[in-house]
Amino acid sequence: MAAVILVGTQWGDEGKGKVTDFLSERADAVVRYQGGSNAGHTVEVEEQQFKLHLVPSGILYPHTLCLIASGVVVDLEQLNLEIKSLEERGIDIGNLRLSSRATLVMPYHKKIDEIQERTGKIGTTGRGIGPAYADKINRVGFRVADLLYDPEFKERFKAEVERKNLYFEKLHDEPGYDYRELYDQLWAQIEPLRPYIGDTSHLVYELLKAGKKVLFEGAQGTLLDIDHGTYPYVTSSHPIAGGACVGAGIGPTRIDRVIGVAKAYTTRVGEGPFPAELEGPLGNVLREKGAEFGTTTGRPRRCGWLDGVILRYAARINGLTDLAITKLDVLDSFETLKICLHYRNNGRVVTEFPENLTLQKECTPEYIELPGWQQDTTGITRYEDLPVNARAYIEKIEEITGVRQVLISLGPRRDQTITGGSFF
Ligand code: IMP
């Protein structure tokens, strides 16, 4: 099998960075297909911690090609900073490729994001993601190739900056931008990236044709999908498996396997419904034990028990073939654990994730209780050696989703992982 998609099954922060890193060792190429620098993937290698936002986690392996595909919105300043910090730590970025079709995140997108957050709170990461995708869909965005090759770029850019300035100055009493300054900045930022820019869709096609192993790395999670998530409290892209085909520019028939990453409990950052949220002391315990603070913004994450309704939904929407369960060790000390099997709304049992915000807010979770294992699992490397109650917890997740686990993560390090079978 050659093409594997890895997606988040919850609201992001499922520990995809570590799983991607683990699979990258076995992959010939890793492809980021959506999102932008709103993503924060933490990877720990030999006592070193890497926090990646735009560059695929595979960059830590010298043999793995790392592609930022056309579905990603790219903040050139952030990308250069990330590359610089990787190089300072001795990581070679020669294997990086950036799609010439990728849309650019401009400084004015970040400012619009900030203004919008002041007036209607989604709890975004403030990285300009929504406004950049809005411009892309509205066909007033700028792609990498436009900047490099379009002779009319400067004129178009000037007109667009002037339009944006009207919005800032007339509607929000904020200073606008000098398009010449922005233009010069863009050129200074794109120059060092030139050697890495190309047609990543074609590259993926060639890799798959040659039987190479390609991993498509999703950012955020299923419930943050613009169409299938908890709209409007979502991100502006398609983190779901279908998004990999669109964002990377490959046909769905090329995909062999879809692995869903599920944290052993649930977290969410930003606003929006979260039926299984624990707001009292138990939520704090999960936050502290799981170090649940955002990689990109440092915000404390909202925490709750595992939500089976969401996982079943994610299994369906993504067509999951496998599960990777992360942070199981965070539950080590609990005497009992709960899993939400369904919700209740006005006396009615709800087994499918509700399709709109009002219904999502009205639902209260109903749980089953399982005994904890109260044993340190962080050094365990074989499934059979897990405490019997930990295995029962995993098997319950498999039963709820109808999907088998292929990887269990018991700590941030690469060696704190249980795997069964091959991935490609
Ligand atoms: P945006 O993607 O910055 O527009 O933020 C929209 C929503 O997605 C907010 O609730 C963010 O907290 C959430 N979000 C965006 N990126 C991530 C991520 O990588 N992990 C978790 N939540 C995210």
Residues 78 and 127 in one domain: no
Mean pLDDT, residues 296-310: 93
Q: Active-site residues: which are they?
A: 13, 41
Residues 302 and 400 in one domain: yes
Mean pLDDT, residues 401-406: 96
The kind and range of the H/E element at 158 are: helix 153-166
pLDDT tens digits along 247-283: 999 999 999 999 999 999 999 998 999 999 999 999 9
Question: How confident is the model at residue 1, as a pLDDT?
Answer: 61
Residues 83 and 108 in one domain: no
Residues 274 and 332 in one domain: yes
Domain range for 130 is 103-195
Question: Nearest 5°: phi and psi at 54?
Answer: -115, -35
Vertex 241 angle, CA 213 and 236, to 5°: 125
- Which of 51, 222, 269 gets mutated to test ligand 1 (max ligand atoms within 8 A of its CB)? 269
> Of all atoms in ligand 1, which is nearest to the CA of residue 36?
2
The count of domains in the chain is: 2
Q: How many angstroms does the Cα of residue 271 sit away from the middle of ligand 1?
A: 10
Mean pLDDT, residues 8-26: 93
Residues 73 and 169 in one domain: no
Cis status, amide bond into 252, omega within 30 of 0: no
Q: How many angstroms does the Cα of residue 220 sit away from the middle of ligand 1?
A: 7
Q: Which residues lie with the beta carbon below 6 Å from any ligand 1 atom? A: 11-13, 38-40, 122-125, 127, 129-130, 219-220, 224, 233, 235-236, 269-270
Instruction: Report if residue 225 sits inside a domain.
Output: yes
> Of all atoms in ligand 1, which is nearest to the CA of residue 219?
19
pLDDT tens digits along 199-231: 999 999 999 999 999 999 999 999 999 999 999
The rounded Cα 95 to chain-centroid distance in angstroms is 21
Residues 161 and 213 in one domain: no
Residues 111 and 79 in one domain: no
Q: How many angstroms does the Cα of residue 12 sit away from the middle of ligand 1?
A: 8
Residues 266 and 412 in one domain: yes
Residues 214 and 310 in one domain: yes
> Of all atoms in ligand 1, which is nearest to the CA of residue 39?
19
Q: How many angstroms does the Cα of residue 126 sit away from the middle of ligand 1?
A: 9
Q: In whole angstroms, give the CA distance from residue 30 to residue 143.
A: 21
Question: How confident is the model at residue 408, as a pLDDT?
Answer: 98
The rounded Cα 408 to chain-centroid distance in angstroms is 19
Look at residue 43 and tell me whether its pLDDT is greater than 90: no
Distances (CA, A) of 68 to 15, 219, 240, 264: 20, 12, 17, 29
Residues 163 and 55 in one domain: no
Cβ atoms within 10 A of the Cβ of 135, count?
A: 23
Q: How confident is the model at residue 45 (pLDDT cuts 50, 70, 90)?
A: confident
Q: In whole angstroms, give the CA distance from residue 257 to residue 254.
A: 10
Q: In whole angstroms, give the CA distance from residue 111 to residue 128.
A: 7
pLDDT tens digits along 329-385: 999 999 999 999 999 999 999 999 999 999 999 999 999 999 999 999 999 999 999
Instruction: Report if residue 424 sits inside a domain.
Output: no
Residues 151 and 110 in one domain: yes
Residues 270 and 379 in one domain: yes
**Structure pTM?**
0.96
Tell me the CATH number at 140.
Answer: 1.10.300.10
Nearest alpha-carbon partner for 266 in 324, 220, 310: 310
